[in-house]
């Protein structure tokens, strides 16, 4: 697990969050500007990297366990971190 305090700089935080994301199975080879913006938004909300890692791992497991012909199931960290999930 990567450990960076959410109070650290946004660039370091985003790099760590994106590293977690990009090491998951079936993710892109590099981050998009939207991925970087999502990481910056999570930093602004004070979400710890441990929570991001847990949410992404859970979403990845759920996505990989779905049938191959199911609807698009892209990862959505903000969706996973919203109330009700």
Report if pTM > 0.75: no
Residues of the chain above pLDDT 90, percent: 52
pLDDT at 85 over 60: no
Domain locations in the chain?
A: 10-80
pLDDT tens for 23-58 read 998 888 999 999 999 999 999 999 999 999 999 999
Run of H or E including 10? helix 10-22
Task: Determine the 3-state secondary structure of 58 from DSSP.
Answer: helix
At residue 42, the pLDDT reads 93
pLDDT of residue 80: 56
DSSP 3-state percent helix, strand, coil across the chain (nearest 5): 55, 0, 45
Which is nearest to 62 in space by CA: 75, 71, 43?
A: 75
Spatial neighbors of 69 by CB under 8 A, at least 6 apart, are none
Q: Residue 62: what pLDDT? A: 85
């Amino acid at each position: 697990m990567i450990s960076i305090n959410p109070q650290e700089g946004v660039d370091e935080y985003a790099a760590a969050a994106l590293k977690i994301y990009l090491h998951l199975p079936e993710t892109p080879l590099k981050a998009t500007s939207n991925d970087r913006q999502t990481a910056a938004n999570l930093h602004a909300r004070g979400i710890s990297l441990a929570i991001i890692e847990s949410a992404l791992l859970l979403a990845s497991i759920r996505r990989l366990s779905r049938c191959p012909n199911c609807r698009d199931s892209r990862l959505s960290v903000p969706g996973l971190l919203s109330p009700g999930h």
